[in-house]
Structure 1
């Protein structure tokens, strides 16, 4: 998973850093971002809240894995999500494009018998035609033609993605343009593209979930690690806006944004194809 595609998850807030100075919070966030490995967003525990959806990707993935004999996880990141789904099928392959994450994923996933392979975005996946009955993808890039190629007839593709109107309030608070064209509709486009390729859409859901940043450290960490949100982000360049936001957070409480998420579950037609739900 490319670092530009990372998406953090919310945790309960404990507000344990109310008296730290702006400078101390920024320095702490930058140090934590530098030390981050894989996609472990534990630094945000106690600094963010919300982000809950009506569906649970881990639960849906776990249920699908339980019925799978051959699993491919695309853009696995550091392998944190895939490892949490164990026990895994005896034939499980994970792909990842960013070299530091490839190494992290191998350390985490090889004890589960997972074959981690490097695969760059936009290239042919290093797997055979029809090799898998399940393809998982959470907040990673995917090529619909490649997903079709590697799935066996009746196989399932499950993906959760961040939408084009994700966290627009954060960009606005810092005077930065949206990361993507907010007027585009990636959800509808993804569903249409899957259908045009021949997939049967079993589930398609979209939500905007409130998500709160409780201190400036959470903001700086998020924007440093999730670098595609504001591509030119630098604490010096955005110092004035960050300090203004810091004062707002201390005086008025959290900055609430809206996580734009969508989920699609699709099947390649064939024997044993599950029904929609």
Structure 2
């Protein structure tokens, strides 16, 4: 194990650029176990061409475009400035409405606007979802739960404290039902995530900064070396994600 060579490689991963929500840089370098449900198929079950659609936290609109929904009936929100600019470059010329969001409790839309709101891994306010959905409207969300990558976060970060330890299916189901939503579908799972080189972990940890607060190669070097030992022993470092999904209808 040549520490200096490894450190040099890891530092290159640390400064690698990232746009939209595109992890193609890690293609072939990780293996993510699928959830028992298919987010896309669930959306297809409820989405019709005549629906007015909102995609919350669209990233760069990569997934949204694959839905093929009429652009003039599509809106997106995004909070991260680089992605907002990307959406304005890519999506606005198509006729998609792009809105930057600064506060989940103040969405820039009128009441009772949307037939369907989709949300993958984006925060939300239940009251605002209810406000902007039409009566009978559908909210579909797949969320990253509070135990996501818990082991790996603790392996890299001293005294790690998760931001949302209570974020799970049971608690969110209670929130929606208490606001008068009917739950049409729900599921929760802890899929395996195997990294095939430690550089991939570096790239990932630098991007997912809320799970790896303060992460740098320099500050976490000793812990990265320990993970490299695991990698050399078994060929991968395994973490576990936390996913849950809810489909709720406004009454």
After TM superposition, is the score higher than 0.5? yes
Is the counterpart of residue 264 in structure 1 residue 242 in structure 2? no
Counterpart position of 1:187? 169
Counterpart position of 1:42? 24
TM-score by length of 1: 0.83
Q: CA deviation at 1:172?
A: 3.1
Is the counterpart of residue 148 in structure 1 residue 133 in structure 2? no
Tell me the C-alpha RMSD between the 2 structures.
2.0
After superposition, the Cα gap between the structure-2 partners of 1:265 and 1:67, relative to the gap in structure 1 and judged at 3 Å, is farther
For the 8 Å contact 1:80–1:108, the answer to whether it is kept is no
List gaps (5 residues or longer) in structure 2: none
After superposition, the Cα gap between the structure-2 partners of 1:61 and 1:248, relative to the gap in structure 1 and judged at 3 Å, is same
The alignment partner of 1:90 has SS state of: helix
Q: CA deviation at 1:176?
A: 3.6
Identify which of 36, 42, 45 aligns with 1:60: 42
Counterparts of 1:187-266 in structure 2, within 5 Å, are: 187-266=169-248
The alignment partner of 1:154 has SS state of: strand
Following TM superposition, the consecutive aligned residue runs of length 4 or more in structure 1 with deviations greater than 6 angstroms are none
Give the number of aligned pairs.
248
Counterpart position of 2:111? 129
After superposition, the Cα gap between the structure-2 partners of 1:24 and 1:85, relative to the gap in structure 1 and judged at 3 Å, is farther
TM-score by length of 2: 0.91
Counterpart position of 2:68? 86
Residue deviations 1:127-183, cap 9 Å, x none? 110011001111001010000000001100000001111112212332544452786
Is the counterpart of residue 23 in structure 1 residue 43 in structure 2? no
Distance (Å, rounded) in 2 between the aligned partners of 1:50 and 1:146: 32
Moved more, 61-70 or 203-212: 61-70
